[in-house]
Amino acid sequence: MSDPVVYVTREIPDAGLELVAAETEMHVWDGKLPPEKDHIIERLEELEADGLLCLLTDETDGEVMDASPNLDVISTFSVGYDHVDIDAAMERGIAVGHTPGVLSDTTADFAWAMLMTTARRTVEGSEYVLADEWETWGPKLLTGPDVSGATLGIVGLGNIGSVVAQRTAGFDMDVLYTDAEPQPDVEEDLADYGVDAQYVSKDELLERSDFVTLHVPLMEPTHHYISEDELRAMKDSAVLVNTSRGPVVDTEALDKALENDWIERAGLDVTDPEPLPGDHEITRHVPEKLVVTPHIASASIQTRDKMATMAAKNLLAGLRGEELPNSAVEDWQRK
């Protein structure tokens, strides 16, 4: 009996590819940029593929799923799965896997790195030195707000948001959060770290917070969750950090906010559009008011290896007809 055929839409870490290669006939897209949707359809059709390992950059809808009559499983190398049409997969009996939980600590660490970098103007300081502008120590040179003792507003107290909250213990911060509903179990867990997280409305969080950090999935209710009204409601000294999904923030509104000093600064690891062109209008605020990184919040070596392994195990389980270790369908149904 021949091995099942799988198509992988990008080179993921070897920790995952080696597992897949050992049990399948594996074909991997080796381009630097993601393959076009038409190309994925073409390859699935040519290969009559049994499995697809994709990334969050790959639109995976019914048209893609219908390209191969043998397709049994889709495994995405990502926590989020908004790029996969779960309804279409369920209609076709196709299993869908994702990689939840694995990147919570890594992404939370990066959210803190972005918060500290944006508040204390380290990128701006580096540019200042490289431009040969550093002439002397100055009492007002590149000052920024204290993080210690400030109020942090967390939008979404889920896996990542709760880990972000844990780390406030070392900074003696007041922690506010908003979510679809209060999270008393998470509040209780955070109390063990010495963190008193207080549930408030979205409006109150924006009004009171010195720093606002976003940790929500991209869904219809969270699309442009932060737009003009929200940015106007924030303190003019506030810092906004987004490591969730780009469209959670209205880019045009944020551009206005930075231009008109509605808020002090912003740090973005995700953008809309993504990738963000270097000549996009909002980049004129870099580095004085804006720090932008290329969606690297989960980019630690250890985390990416774990993600690759999870994605491979989901794929192989689906090919064997077994229950997926991490089913996106089950997660979607719970929501």
Residues serving a catalytic function are 245, 274, 295
SS3 249: strand
Q: Are strands 95-97 and 174-178 parallel, antiparallel or unpaired?
A: unpaired
Sheet bearing 25-28, strands edge to edge: 25-28, 5-8, 51-54, 73-76, 95-97
Using DSSP's 3-state secondary structure scheme, residue 70 falls into coil
Residue 213 has phi, psi (to 5 degrees) of -125, 135
Which residue from 284, 286, 254, 8 is spatially nearest to 126, judged by alpha carbons? 286
Q: How many CB atoms lie within 10 A of CB 148?
A: 9
Within 10 A of 132 (CB to CB), how many other CB atoms are there? 7
Beta bridge partners of 151: 174
- CB-CB contact of 247 with 223 (8 Å): yes
